[in-house]
Amino acid sequence: MKESREDQDQSREDQEQKERAALRLMEALSGADEELLERARGEAEKTGRMRAGKPLWQYGRAWAAVLCFLVVGAVSWGGLRLMTMRMGGSDNNSGNAYDAGQQSQTPEKGPELSEGEAGADAGENGAAPQEAPCGFEGFDQEKKREEDGYQGDGQDAEGQRGNDQDEGSQSGNIQNGAGQSGNSQSGTGKLENDQQEVSRGPEAAEDAIGELETAGCPAAPERQKLTEAQARESELGGYVPKVLPAGYVFEEASRKIGEEDSQTPSDLRLIWCRGMDSITLHITRDETQEISVVDVNAPETYDQRLYEIPLGESVPREYWESVSNPVFAAEDLSLEVIESRMVSGAGDSGDTDTPRGNFAVLYSDGVLVEFSGRGTAEEIWNMFEGLE
Amino acid sequence: MKDTQILELYWARKEQAITETQQAYGAYCYSVAWHILFDREDSDECVNDTWLRAWNAIPPKRPGKLSLFLGTITRNLALDRWKKRHTVKRGGGEMTIALDELAECVPASVNTEDAVEAAELERLLNVFLHTLSRRDCDIFLRRYWYVEEYGEIADRFGMNLNTVKTSLFRTRAKLKGYLEKEGITL
């Protein structure tokens, strides 16, 4: 009897534990990627009903790629025909004066016109593939590579439209008789290369992204993900805190691609999490930007405790910016200053009761460390103290 | 009214922002809360709390997608309310069934002391969601994020009820396998 009751208790306890675990899963789903949620919501509500099969427009990218091939093929074929006609005319000496005159004009204008049209067409067709990567983040690698591959197709088309040098060299090749087939190889070969990039792995895909960026696509991924160790070794790694509030674990780090370029401001972003709490640091060095720091002797410009929630109503308009995002000079930073920024307002505590806040610190070498997250003032102070 | 216009009203601290938000997203937020709480009064309160939270958060916050921002607030508030209510009595409705289903995904070793951090779990779930096909992912989210009934999902996507059930069954099995493979204890 006693054993069976113990068994019952045990199984009830197991059941409760499983329920708690299921609830944790349910809660963790709140953090599902926005794009997935938006898609799940949008897909269902767009038409009210979705057909089981894929609608035609979903094949838009594939169609765009096919059209690009067709356009490039048509341009190459047209050029080849012109070359053949021209060479045939001179080799065979079969043309009359009128033909010869026509031929001498056509190669100069013909390819340009057809390529211009081709470029315009391809540009239109390429628009869809280019749009796709602009907003996406967080697709898995495989999908990303797939997207990048498509983007490559679209970009090639765009590149042909916009790059006069390419056009010049192509028509130059035609005029020089350097081999039209060679040209068509380079044209379609580039597309094929892009497709191969898709299957060759992430490095190749990154190369492809690099190529696309140089071609001026604004949609290429802007940030490169880093491990914590890589972040610490990076140019701004000295500003990655060594001491973090207890319980925080590294979540992610990234930097702007193209940081090595002196034109691009240095930039590093890191996130640590502790349950529902998180700390985000955005470390930048942008010598072109003038940053004004708040006067720590004027607490009304930054001390959130002086104002009631909603801040939009209690903070004077002239202090909105500084109260929302104050920047302190590194030498002015103190526990008192941080206390003024780490608040836990009644009724506005959010997911946890841990004080939360945001501010930025400007260091003497021009590095700006923007903090946003949760922790006690002491914890955050210790974190920043460790930086100096 | 567009999201950007509504956000401008928030930034200008005009109370019309709440009216407009309610008009644009009231039904959506209510639906999110209702599916979890299965109670009209509680759902109404959740939605009202959502407006308050939004009013207090904007400015300085400027959400990218207002619908998801509001939906997530409502969902979290509804889950909190559900938990409080659940300590008193076992709630009814779809939430209980959805939770029972999700319990199938819980890896064999349950040990709350070594439980994975919530943020890590969120990250892993996102990785998992991205491995799913678009259709399976949408169905999974409609079921366990929006807590919709099978029939509702089938209706939305123009699918057979059994197809939805099969998809969810397979996804749950995959999720369990994935969590076990990652060595996750919940």
How far apart CA A381 and CA A359 sit, in angstroms, is 12
How many pairs of residues across A and B have Cβ atoms under 8 Å apart? 162
Domain that holds residue A321: 224-385
Assess if residue A89 is contained within a domain: yes
How far apart CA A266 and CA A255 sit, in angstroms, is 8
State whether residue A80 is helix, strand or coil: helix
Please indicate, yes or no, whether residues A268 and A370 belong to a single structural domain of this protein.
Answer: yes
CB spacing of A27 vs B158 below 8 angstroms: no
Domain count, chain A: 2
Residue A134 has pLDDT above 90, yes or no: no
Residue A162 has pLDDT above 60, yes or no: no
Question: C-alpha angle with apex A234: A231 to A239, nearest 5 degrees?
Answer: 75
- Reduced DSSP (H G I as helix, E B as strand, rest coil) percent helix, strand, coil of chain A, to 5: 60, 15, 25
Q: How far apart are the CA of A185 and the nearest CA of chain B, in angstroms?
A: 36
Task: Nearest by CB to B145, from A20, A37, A52: name it.
Answer: A37
Q: How far apart are the CA of A136 and the nearest CA of chain B, in angstroms?
A: 12
Assess if residue A311 is contained within a domain: yes
Q: How far apart are the CA of A308 and the nearest CA of chain B, in angstroms?
A: 10
Please indicate, yes or no, whether residues A311 and A370 belong to a single structural domain of this protein.
Answer: yes
Q: Which of A183, A214, A245 is the last residue of a domain?
A: A214
How far apart CA A313 and CA A316 sit, in angstroms, is 8
Please indicate, yes or no, whether residues A235 and A165 belong to a single structural domain of this protein.
Answer: no
CB spacing of B120 vs A249 below 8 angstroms: yes
How far apart CA B73 and CA B85 sit, in angstroms, is 18
Assess if residue A18 is contained within a domain: no
Q: How far apart are the CA of B110 and the nearest CA of chain A, in angstroms?
A: 7
CB spacing of B186 vs A36 below 8 angstroms: no
Q: Which of A192, A214, A236 is the last residue of a domain?
A: A214
Q: Average pLDDT, stretch A146-167?
A: 37
Please indicate, yes or no, whether residues A380 and A304 belong to a single structural domain of this protein.
Answer: yes
CB spacing of A251 vs B119 below 8 angstroms: yes
| Range from A3-7, A50-54, A68-72, A110-114 carrying the lowest mean pLDDT | A110-114
Please indicate, yes or no, whether residues A190 and A254 belong to a single structural domain of this protein.
Answer: no
pLDDT reported for residue A222:
63
Assess if residue A341 is contained within a domain: yes
Tell which of B72, B82, B156 to mutate to test the A interface (max A CBs under 10 Å): B156
Note the pLDDT tens digit of each residue in B40-71: 888 999 999 999 999 988 877 888 888 889 99
pLDDT reported for residue A218:
43
pLDDT band at A291 (very low <50, low <70, confident <90, very high): confident
Q: Average pLDDT, stretch A307-319?
A: 79
Residues of chain A contacting B102 with CB distance shorter than 8 Å: 22, 25-26
Assess if residue A271 is contained within a domain: yes
Nearest to A194 by CA among A165, A163, A160, A171: A160
Residue A200 has pLDDT above 80, yes or no: no
Assess if residue A42 is contained within a domain: no
Enumerate domains of chain B plus CATH numbers.
Answer: 3-88 (1.10.1740.10), 95-181 (1.10.10.10)
Please indicate, yes or no, whether residues A276 and A340 belong to a single structural domain of this protein.
Answer: yes
pLDDT reported for residue A73:
81
Assess if residue A9 is contained within a domain: no
Note the pLDDT tens digit of each residue in A116-127: 333 333 333 333
pLDDT reported for residue A56:
52
Residue A361 has pLDDT above 90, yes or no: yes
Please indicate, yes or no, whether residues A79 and A203 belong to a single structural domain of this protein.
Answer: yes
Please indicate, yes or no, whether residues A115 and A92 belong to a single structural domain of this protein.
Answer: yes
Please indicate, yes or no, whether residues A263 and A142 belong to a single structural domain of this protein.
Answer: no
Q: How far apart are the CA of B34 and the nearest CA of chain A, in angstroms?
A: 16
Q: How far apart are the CA of B77 and the nearest CA of chain A, in angstroms?
A: 9
Note the pLDDT tens digit of each residue in A70-124: 888 888 877 777 776 655 444 444 433 334 334 434 333 333 333 333 333 333 3
CB spacing of B65 vs A274 below 8 angstroms: no
Please indicate, yes or no, whether residues A287 and A147 belong to a single structural domain of this protein.
Answer: no
pLDDT reported for residue B91:
52
Q: Which of A214, A235, A253 is the last residue of a domain?
A: A214
Highest mean pLDDT: which range of A141-145, A329-333, B117-121: A329-333
Please indicate, yes or no, whether residues A331 and A243 belong to a single structural domain of this protein.
Answer: yes
Residues of chain B contacting A43 with CB distance shorter than 8 Å: 138, 157
Q: Is the peptide bond before A310 cis (omega within 30 degrees of 0)?
A: yes
CB spacing of B53 vs A348 below 8 angstroms: yes
Find the closest chain B residue to A247 by CA distance. B117
Residues of chain B contacting A36 with CB distance shorter than 8 Å: 126, 129-130, 137, 141
CB spacing of A20 vs B112 below 8 angstroms: yes
More confident residue, A384 or A60: A384
Assess if residue A4 is contained within a domain: no
Beta carbons of A179 and A173 less than 8 angstroms apart: yes
Residues of chain B contacting A25 with CB distance shorter than 8 Å: 102, 105-106, 121, 125, 144, 186
CB spacing of A275 vs B117 below 8 angstroms: yes
State percent of chain B over pLDDT 70: 91
Residues of chain B contacting A51 with CB distance shorter than 8 Å: 158
Task: Nearest by CB to A30, from B53, B75, B120: name it.
Answer: B75
Residues of chain A contacting B146 with CB distance shorter than 8 Å: 40-41
pLDDT band at A26 (very low <50, low <70, confident <90, very high): confident
Please indicate, yes or no, whether residues A290 and A323 belong to a single structural domain of this protein.
Answer: yes
Note the pLDDT tens digit of each residue in B109-133: 545 545 567 778 888 888 999 999 9
- The torsion angle over the Cα atoms of residues B29, B35, B39 and B43, rounded to 10 degrees, is -10
pLDDT reported for residue A265:
63
Find the closest chain A residue to B63 by CA distance. A34
Relative to beta strand A356-362, strand A327-329 is parallel
Residue A210 has pLDDT above 90, yes or no: no
Find the closest chain B residue to A21 by CA distance. B186
- Residue identified by tokens 């190529």 is A211
Q: Is the peptide bond before B59 cis (omega within 30 degrees of 0)?
A: yes
